[in-house]
Structure 1
Amino acid sequence: MCVAAVSTVQPVLAQTASPAASADKVDQLIKLLDDPEIRALLNKQTAAPAAEADTSMSATEFSALGHRIRDHLRKIGEAIPQVSSEFMRAGGTIADDINGHGPLGVFGLFLTMVLIGLGAEWLFHRIASRSRMHAALAQTDGARQNPLHSAGRHLFAVLAPLVAFSLASLGLFMAMTWPPLLDAIMLPLLLGVIACRFVIRIARLVLIGPRTGKDVAATAGLVPIDRASAVFWYKRIFWFACVFFAGWALVGVMVALSIEPGVRATVGYALGLGMLLVAIETVWNRPAAIARPHGRGAMEWALTFYLCLLWGLWVAGLVIILWLGIYALILPGLLKATTAMARNAFGGTPDVPGSGNPVVEVLVERGARAIIITLAVLWLAFLINKRSSMFTGEAMTDRIIQGVLAGAIILLVADILWQIAKAVINRTLEHAQVSTADSAHAARNGRLLTLLPILRTMLAIVIALIAVMMVLSGLGVQVAPLIAGAGIFGVAIGFGSQTLVKDVISGVFYMMDDAFRVGEYIQSGSYKGTVESFSIRSVKLRHHRGPVFTVPFGTLGAIENMSRDWVIDKFTISVGYDTDINKVRKMVKGVGAALLEDEELGPLIIETLKMKGVEQFGDYGIDLSFAMMTKPGYQTTIRRRAYMMIREAFTQNGVVFASPTVQVAGGDSSSAAAAASTVKTAMDLKKLAESGEGA
């Protein structure tokens, strides 16, 4: 900070200390600038470079990139014969600067530090063995452990010994005073061993599971895959990590020994061939390729070519394109494994509805995915910032690249917010779909089933619009004119689609008034049916005969809700004029009591069946009125059962239903038949007349 401050202040001091120009010199400068010849010469010199830059930039852009690639490859080719001489010189440098000790002495010191770290790790295992025994005993109690506690305990058991190893080996080396060259050589070696062991341990925890004594097969990793596949991927990660960190440490040692950059790059590319061979072997022997019915084929050859292409991009020096290719190769599988691991560790039990915490599951799953993508984006941004000369280097290009990288992070945050909101709403909907006997709770559930899907849609639209606006703003797009234009366009659309606006506003007020809910049977004009779902502008009604009506809210009008609170069902029965009305009342009272005692229909009856009295005197008998109060939607079923019970009671007690009869005086059979024929003809004519009026 002091250096930066001094470098900032020095130009200012230089400017203040410069002597003031005299008035004569200023007058001479003004006269020279007023000269037309000098003015034309200045304009020519300032315009020529700009025009030349504008015309040559696009023409030589790719040519310059090709020249850089050829120069890079030429330097690599020139460095290959120098590898042996550079390493011999490095050996002499080690012997000269480290008290006569050669590479074997450095290797012996490195091996000593590693053994000290392993001893500290073994001692930590012995000290922590008692706590692990207590944890194992607690695990056998039968109580279900919290996944967070279990994952944290396993992670501590895996990483804590490595922390002891790191503190003992690296900490001891850093605490002592060594020659500068030895310090620069040993540091990357120790860091490479520590990083490699951390990666291998974490891979073992994720794929195979923690080691539990002799019974290793009893444990399982966090990723839900079979053990053979887990062992396969663990071994490949082990070898890949060993080759990668060995190369990384060796490059650090070569930097400390001041080996030529071309030689360092050549050795790195040679070690990269080892990683390439491991990757190709993984492609051809992976479980998915072996389990394929037709065996290995075009997919394996394509992946092999792709891996060789990545290595070629690395050798050519196209680092940014190389990392884009690596991301395209490993990010989909890594994100898929992260999702499976999060759901396996924090998801609910599939057989138990409502188990698990959706917010924690979404936070862990989407948070882990966001961290992985964010780290990849930040690393890519670092490379682009470091190697921006590979592209145009213009301010507009840099701003676009920064906007794209920032937009990726914005979209990740928006995705996390949307997934959390959606998980909470979906869990609430699952709870609301559970049937309950409490009428108030059932009404609340119906309201939630009605409003939450609309809220979910609105949240998705709002989050998407905000995220898109922020991304466009990061890319340099002026958002204010877009918002103003959208407002004007919205007003024009509002005038042009008044019916749509009416439907949307009417739907909002229907929801505020709680006029109907999902699952209720309503009637509006000629439309009636059970409410199935909503949209922003319409409601879907399922008719009891099957058809579905999609009715806009603006055309609903008055709503007749037949599924709220209770229903009174009334019907009439005609009996003969000689029937004892009080006797019928007692029989119906018994039928009502029997309905209440029914296990299936009794809970659905609020007020049981009662006879209200004589409704009217008909042509052939007395019309008796009956009524009962039931829960909505069950009145038809209860009425049918009541009809059956009333008929049985009337039959047992000799009560006769009213029916048209004809009495003919005398014993002439021909007269009786003629009279019956006359009555039948009259009744047929009456029915025909009624049907004609109804038509």
Structure 2
Amino acid sequence: MKGFLSLVAGLFFAFNALAQAPTAAAPPEKINELVRLLQDPDVQTWLKDRKEAGPSSPASSTDSPNLAKLESATRTRVHEIITAIPSIPAEVAAAAMRARQDAISRGYAPVFVIFGGLVALGLFAEGLYRRLISQHQTLPGRLAPVGIFAGAMAIVFFAVEWPPLARVTLLAYLSAFILFRLAVVCLSAADIAASLRARLIVLVGIACLAIATAAVGEPLGVPPLVTAAISYCFSVIGLLFGIEAVWATSQRPRPWKAAVSVFLVTLWLIWCLNMRGLFWIGIYLLVLPAMLNTVGRAAASFVSDSGSLRGVLVVRSARAAVICLAVGWLALVWQFNPDTVGQRNPTIAALFYGGLKSVLILVVADLLWQLARGWIDRTLRTATDTTSLAPADAARRARFRTLLPIFRNALAVVVAVMAALVVLAQMGVQIGPLIAGAGIFGVAIGFGSQTLVKDVISGVFYMLDDAFRVGEYIQAKDYKGTVEGFSLRSVRLRHHRGPVFTVPFGELGAVQNMSRDWVIDKFRITVGFNTDIEKARKLTKKVGAELKEDAELGPLFIEPLKMKGVEEFADYGIVLSFAMTTVPGMQTYIRRKAYAKIRELFLANGITFAQPTVQVGGDEKDGGGAAAAAQAIRAQQAGSASPA
């Protein structure tokens, strides 16, 4: 089918070119001959047979297994590379000679001399910078000298018109050297062991040298097979160094080391098979987590507070930039490697690009979520400190402590669901039926769990009514305690004796909030019938003034202690009523202090507290009879108690 389509496309472009070119009129006898041939039954039969046989022949070529083609191409490629390895020294020497002759013939020094001079110039500029500017231990402070080194070399390199071969060679190896130095600085700032750092530096040096050598191969006239053979040799050296680093520096058990070694060998084979997209995915799995941590720490060094909005934005944006660059590089590798099996398969290509878009979507979702969560956490930390605040501000912060955790949980669910739906859409999944199915499923769940729905909706309305907040003491039915937190369906109450109640919102009913605004505390004291009421009132007023002037208790009062008057006449004395208005939650503590002061002051001024008494009285006859009856009872009890 592919050959048939190519033939049709070729004929289309050929006919298009003929249509645009100046044409001459065809002789009539040739046209008549063509019409006669087309009307011939034998010709028509032949055309019909060709038409029926046409689609089958290309299909037979495309139906051959891709695995066999891949195996044959790989075998041929390996044979060519192995054949080209012995010619590497001669080709490298010839390329170096061509570059040297090109520079000398134009009046320049050899390339390696120019390279050494540019490096020496860069090091000289870097040394001056280090003398003038004090060295900083942060990552930006360590990168600045390397930037001066690269800038000095770049100025001279672009200011001089170098010979063509020398220009390409210098650009490749100078760039590789600068990248190597940047990697060394980043690895020095990373929190890793010294032995592992040294091996990673060697690996980075091998990779930079290999990339530069492969880049100058074609301009210097090195055959492509020899350039590929050089790359394969460098890759083998890098693979051996990587495996040695795993076994020499890691403290993990042997099975883990063996698994990592097998993974590295698998990555090398994938690279040899020219499956570059899959190869870079494996590389990302190895180095991307550590790279993200390093970049995050480097970005955090630019801000004073990494927990602030600016700090979160800088750190997360830096990590997101690394991920976006990795995704972009993967897309370029995939685009510039069109001969792979996955590139020729539309389904795999669609999944690949959908996966890249999904990664970017998840990065954006993570950035938005981190910004929102950082703002909520900072607001919650601020809302916990309510000292030296006006009552209205303290109430507003208490409401923040109540609502923001619920809002954070709901926002996390919304961001996760939206990101998942967009990712599924990018992967080619039709999310319309999913949304409709989720709606139907939600209705079914709602009918099946009416109690849960009732609890959630009741909680929403409790929050809208501002019925209680975190830290307030409430009572609802048989439950009472301090509100410690919420979930979507329940509230957690801590009783003053310690037990914790987790009460569904639907079970609360009417809520009595004992911690809102102010509290009027009333209590009663019974004094003797002969008490001077006015004197007791004045003494109570004095107690209230002393409590109000107290440094600890004074700020807790809204209205001072007062005696309201006589409440009732009891059996043993006069009941006096007292009242005071305090801040919520402190009334019991203040009442105890008031009890102590009232007792002390009342007793000091001759006011006695009523006590139950029994008075025996009457005339002498009755008194004598009562005394005789009591004596008879005692005698009877004594007689019954004596032994028989």
What range describes the TM-score normalised by the shorter chain of this pair?
A: 0.7 to 0.9
In the alignment, what sits opposite 1:164? 152
SS at 2:55 equivalent: helix
Contact 2:280 2:330 in 1 (8 A): yes
SS at 2:386 equivalent: coil
> What letter is aligned with 2:88?
V
In the alignment, what sits opposite 1:214? none
Per-residue CA deviation, residues 625-644 of structure 1 (Å, 9 max, x unaligned), is 11111110111111122222
Greater CA deviation, 539-548 or 88-97?
A: 88-97
Query: How do 1:435-584 and structure 2 match up within 5 A?
Result: 435-438=386-389, 439-584=391-536
CA distance in 2, matches of 1:671, 1:435: 73
Query: How do 1:680-695 and structure 2 match up within 5 A?
Result: none
CA distance in 2, matches of 1:376, 1:598: 67
In the alignment, what sits opposite 1:248? 211
Per-residue CA deviation, residues 569-589 of structure 1 (Å, 9 max, x unaligned), is 111112222222222222222
Contact 1:567 1:629 in 2 (8 A): yes
In the alignment, what sits opposite 1:218? none
Aligned alpha-carbon RMSD (Å): 4.0
CA distance in 1, matches of 2:148, 2:588: 70
Contact 2:104 2:110 in 1 (8 A): no
Residue 364 in structure 1 maps to residue 366 in structure 2: no
Distance 1:99 1:114, change over 3 A: closer
Residue 329 in structure 1 maps to residue 286 in structure 2: yes
SS at 2:339 equivalent: helix
Contact 1:121 1:165 in 2 (8 A): no
Contact 1:347 1:357 in 2 (8 A): no
Per-residue CA deviation, residues 409-453 of structure 1 (Å, 9 max, x unaligned), is 111111111111101110110111113232122101101011111
> What letter is aligned with 2:158?
G
CA distance in 1, matches of 2:394, 2:632: 64
In the alignment, what sits opposite 1:263? 226
Contact 1:521 1:531 in 2 (8 A): yes
In the alignment, what sits opposite 1:3? none
Query: How do 1:261-300 and structure 2 match up within 5 A?
Result: 261-284=224-247, 286=249, 289=251, 299-300=256-257
CA distance in 2, matches of 1:403, 1:421: 27
Residue 384 in structure 1 maps to residue 341 in structure 2: no
CA distance in 2, matches of 1:162, 1:318: 34
* 1:315 CA drift (Å): 4.1
SS at 1:610 equivalent: strand
Per-residue CA deviation, residues 618-675 of structure 1 (Å, 9 max, x unaligned), is 1222111111111101111111222222223333334332232111134766767999
Distance 1:674 1:601, change over 3 A: farther
* 1:507 CA drift (Å): 2.7
Distance 1:669 1:313, change over 3 A: farther
Distance 1:549 1:39, change over 3 A: farther
Counting aligned pairs with the same residue, the percent is: 42
In the alignment, what sits opposite 1:686? none
Unmatched 5+ stretches in structure 1? 1-7, 140-146, 208-222, 349-355, 676-695
CA distance in 2, matches of 1:255, 1:527: 83
Query: How do 1:60-209 and structure 2 match up within 5 A?
Result: 60-87=65-92, 89-90=94-95, 93=98, 108-116=110-118, 118-119=120-121, 122-123=124-125, 126=128, 132=133, 155-168=143-156, 170-172=157-159, 175-176=160-161, 178=163, 180-204=164-188, 207=189
Per-residue CA deviation, residues 109-158 of structure 1 (Å, 9 max, x unaligned), is 3323541453365257548855x37xx9xx9xxxxxxx9xx876664454
CA distance in 2, matches of 1:449, 1:670: 77
CA distance in 2, matches of 1:551, 1:166: 71
Query: How do 1:617-632 and structure 2 match up within 5 A?
Result: 617-632=569-584
Greater CA deviation, 503-512 or 567-576?
A: 503-512
Contact 1:117 1:166 in 2 (8 A): no
In the alignment, what sits opposite 2:55? 46
Distance 1:385 1:638, change over 3 A: same
Distance 1:337 1:192, change over 3 A: closer
In the alignment, what sits opposite 1:219? none
> What letter is aligned with 2:348?
T
Contact 2:103 2:109 in 1 (8 A): no
CA distance in 2, matches of 1:11, 1:547: 90
Contact 2:494 2:501 in 1 (8 A): yes
Contact 1:664 1:672 in 2 (8 A): no
Distance 1:530 1:9, change over 3 A: farther
> What letter is aligned with 2:87?
Q
CA distance in 2, matches of 1:99, 1:669: 147
